[in-house]
Every structure is written in structure tokens, then in C-alpha cells.
Structure 1
């Protein structure tokens, strides 16, 4: 495809990344934007600021993140990854995540984390099935705006590990792209996700016929 993924450098590229981010998400309010100066600071302080360029040199993808600590564990947090509408489905997102993982490893991180909408089936498939990340926490109304339930995922950067486990599934009605589109079904699914996350880790989301199936793993002795 001739796509190049590399660190972004200089005000022009940081500004282009900020513009792409707002364009992909359709953000009109300035408070939802990304400061190019923030990207400069992250790049110089163990963060990740990466772009994907097409053969013509146009920026078609962007991701950024930063180092973080939880209970003494160093990990890399991926705040956002975006791909231009015309470049989606070409593997750009996967290339960006792989490059971001390399950046994270260089800081000493053994895992990478990020959040996503638990009801967006396409994102769930990419994060859990394609990348192999595991959802470790349910975060109701993460951004405190009434519409931002999120799943926190952890992606092991050190390689596969064999774990003994049992599986429990949660099933909900689903449209083509969204699980539990109706308010009543969404309320039930939201409650069940919260309950299951207290007991295990989400490893897979599948669409079967007209239903979404969430599979949780529980470690066993």
C-alpha cells in the first residue's frame, strides 16, 4: 500500500494531526480539540505521537498516548487513534497500534491501555479479536456527559500467556453495528456488563444473527 507510519515532528505535522482528529470525530467545539503543543510535550516525555502517511505524503491516520502507572505497574495509555474516512478498512489502525506498541515497549511498559464504546460492535471486534486486547473494567459515563459508557482494555505487549479460565456470556439484541440500540435493552446490558466486570475480564464480542454476545473469562484455580 506504500503507507508509512512514523513519529510526527514539527508544528506543521502536529497541527495536521489535530485537524484530522477533529475532522474524523466531527468535533466543532474548541475544547474537544488537541493542542499541537501538547503533542510536542508528549513526544519529548515518553509519550507517543504517531502518524500514518499515504504514498502522496498526506496524513491519513494519527494516534497519541502517554506513560501512566496503576498500582506500581507502568503502562502506556493510548488516548486516541483516528483514521481518515477514505483510508478506513486498509489496515491503517492496526499499523498505528503496532507502532504505538513499539513506542510503549521502549519506555519499559509491558501493557498498553485504552477505552472504547462497549456497544460499538466494529470497535469491539477490532480491539478484542483483531488486536487481542482484554477488557478489564467497565467505566459508566466515563466523560460525565450522560452518553459515554466505556470499556477499559489492556493489551499485553510481552506475548501470549496460557491462563486457565471459565467463560460466561452476556447476550443482547443488536443492530448491524450497535448492541442494544433500544433504551430498555441498553439499560439491561449496561447493568449486566457492570456485574460481569466485577467477576472477570471481557475477551470477545461477537454478532450472531440479531444479537451481540459478550464473552467474559474468569480465572480458575
Structure 2
């Protein structure tokens, strides 16, 4: 993938490189780094997933995960960071999938901020994962450059490694869902503000803002409005049993009710 080599890590020097890479991405305040060298050492020694992505012998991405319940079936990908727009994140996920399948695992899970469009598109369209649970304020207060000033709502993405649409996605065929003509807008974007709509339909669309990170800086009030609106509508629909089946046009979630 674009000259990227992904390999497992095992030395203190490599773990220090991971911490420096993550610090350069998240710029955490003292004491709030996503991982430490000691944790990476323990996870790696215990047989968990700690990898680095390299281009020209320089670390350009890294991923850290651990075995999760139910035992023998799931890898939970805790944190992945990479330079954007170079295929590095996709290369890391392909390696992660190969690693998991070699150990007889069926699923990989991870959390992500449902308001970040590029992550939703990557997770749903590029990989074929599906959000299955809404987790309000999952990490509590986060004090890094990306998340500061907002609540840490997340959704749990589940990547079912052998599903046909996932097999197509890892071959480079993005997963797309056709929107039926009777779909309704459960949440719309009206000049940068969230507007709740109808949710009493078989197919419901839930919009997210174009750039929530920029919005947090420019208009914190609007960012909070989006957070609470998406929590209410997307979180409410998932709690009611609706399923996210796709992310349309890099702008909105597609949810389907069973009845």
C-alpha cells in the first residue's frame, strides 16, 4: 500500500517511536497520552496487537489493540494514528485483519467519534465496518488538541472480517448503499446547524457536520448542538434497534429499521 510496510513491534525504542507519533497527532496534555511505553511493552509481551507502519524506514503510523470478549473471537483496536491521505490507515487495518484471522478471530471492534465525517466514511465505506452501539461520554473529559472542549461520545464499530461486503471492501471496492426514495431525514444540516426531523420510517438519514474539529474552534455552541442532536437521533435509533447500513455521500448515516 503506497510503499508502506507494517510490522509488529517489540523493542523499547519502537514503543518510544509510537508514543512520539501519537503525541504529534493528538498533542495531549501531560498525563493524558493515549498510551505509554510501559503499556505498549505489556500489551506486546502478552501477545496483543502493537504495530508500526513504515515508509522509507520512518514510522508514519501505528496501531494498538488487545484481545477482547468474547474470548477467542474479538480483537479490540484501542488506538490507531497515521498521516492522513496516504493509504497508511488502510494498510494498518489490512494488516490488523490478517493478524486477527491468523489467530482465529472473527471480529475487530473499535470506537470513533460519530461526528467526524472522514472517520465515518473510512470505517463504513472503505472498510465495511458498522456502528452497533452509541456510547455517550465514553472516555470522560479528554484534554488533547483534537477532543478538548467537547464531550467524548463514541460509537462502537464492529468489523465482521469474513462478511461478503467486507471482503469486497478490502479488495478496494468501497461499500455503498442505495437510499430508497421513501427515506426520511432524521437529522439535517441547515446552514451549519442541526435540525431534527422525522425518524418514523424504515430508512432514516442522520447528517453530521462537514468538519466538527474546525467547528469546535470557530463556534463551540454549534458544535455542542451537533453533539447533542446526533446523540439524541443516532443514539436513540440505535437504542431502538435500528441498524446503520452505510454512510452516504460522505455526509450522513443510513439507518434501517427491521419493521
- Structure 1 and Structure 2 fold alike (TM over 0.5): yes
Does the C-alpha gap of structure 1 residues 2 and 155 become closer, same or farther in structure 2, counting only changes over 3 Å?
same
Instruction: Tell me how far 1:187 sits from its aligned partner.
Output: 2.4
Deviations 1:36-78 (A, max 9, x none): 23222222323111111111x11010001000104x6720000
TM-score by length of 2: 0.72
Q: Aligned partners of 2:152 and 2:34: how far apart in 1?
A: 17
Does the C-alpha gap of structure 1 residues 193 and 52 become closer, same or farther in structure 2, counting only changes over 3 Å?
same
**When the two structures are aligned, how many residues end up with a matched partner?**
209
Contiguous gaps of at least 5 residues in structure 1: none
Contiguous gaps of at least 5 residues in structure 2: 142-149, 166-200, 216-221
Show the counterpart of 2:164: 160
Does the C-alpha gap of structure 1 residues 130 and 32 become closer, same or farther in structure 2, counting only changes over 3 Å?
same
Q: Aligned partners of 2:208 and 2:161: how far apart in 1?
A: 33
Does the C-alpha gap of structure 1 residues 11 and 185 become closer, same or farther in structure 2, counting only changes over 3 Å?
closer
Q: Aligned partners of 1:218 and 1:179: how far apart in 2?
A: 33
Q: Is the CA contact 1:46–1:107 (under 8 Å) kept in the aligned structure 2?
A: no
Q: Is the CA contact 1:172–1:179 (under 8 Å) kept in the aligned structure 2?
A: no
Q: Which moved more, 1:138-147 or 1:29-38?
A: 29-38
Name the one with the larger strand percent.
1
Show the counterpart of 2:91: 95
Deviations 1:59-115 (A, max 9, x none): 010001000104x6720000011013xxx2110000001111122223321000000
Give the 4+ runs in structure 1 shifted more than 6 A.
none
Residue 195 (str. 1) matches residue 206 (str. 2): no
Backbone CA RMSD of aligned residues = 2.6
Instruction: Tell me how far 1:120 sits from its aligned partner.
Output: 0.4
Show the counterpart of 2:117: 121
Structure 1 segment 1-221 matched on structure 2, within 5 A: 1-55=2-56, 57-70=57-70, 74-84=73-83, 88-145=84-141, 147-160=151-164, 168-172=203-207, 174-176=209-211, 181-198=222-239, 199-207=241-249, 212-219=251-258
Deviations 1:20-48 (A, max 9, x none): 11211111322324222322222232311
TM-score by length of 1: 0.84
